[in-house]
Amino acid sequence: MGSFSVWHWIIVLVIVLLVFGTKKLRNIGSDLGGAVKGFKDGMKNGEEKPADTAIANQAAADGKTVDVQAKDVNKA
């Protein structure tokens, strides 16, 4: 059994190209890239929240009001 040879992978790639076409595969690749970028941005924004929360909790304990601006994460 073992792994496939290079020729097996080339044949599989040709069949996939014939079935899906290059345009559809390109769209799938760009969609996947956009999803990965969105995930990375989400992780980056997730790291900023604990610092903001700590400031808000400190201000709430002091009895002061914190004035912040909301970010629109749905912008493309």
pLDDT digits (tens, 9 = 90+) for 35-73: 999 999 888 876 655 555 555 556 555 666 666 777 777
> Could you give the CA distance from residue 61 to residue 59 in angstroms, rounded to a whole number?
5
Q: What is the pLDDT of residue 35?
A: 92
Q: What is the pLDDT of residue 36?
A: 92
> Does the residue 35 lie in any domain?
yes
> Could you give the CA distance from residue 72 to residue 76 in angstroms, rounded to a whole number?
10
> Does the residue 64 lie in any domain?
no
Give the predicted TM-score (pTM) of the model. 0.40
Q: pLDDT of 7-25, one tens digit each?
A: 998 999 899 888 888 888 8
66 CB contacts (<8 Å, ≥6 apart)? 55, 56, 59, 60
Classified as helix, coil or strand, 3 is: coil
> Does the residue 26 lie in any domain?
yes
Q: What is the pLDDT of residue 44?
A: 83
DSSP label at residue 52: H
Range(s) of the domain holding residue 33? 21-45
Number of domains in the chain: 1
The more confident residue out of 74 and 1 is 74
> Does the residue 65 lie in any domain?
no
> Does the residue 54 lie in any domain?
no
> Could you give the CA distance from residue 49 to residue 55 in angstroms, rounded to a whole number?
10
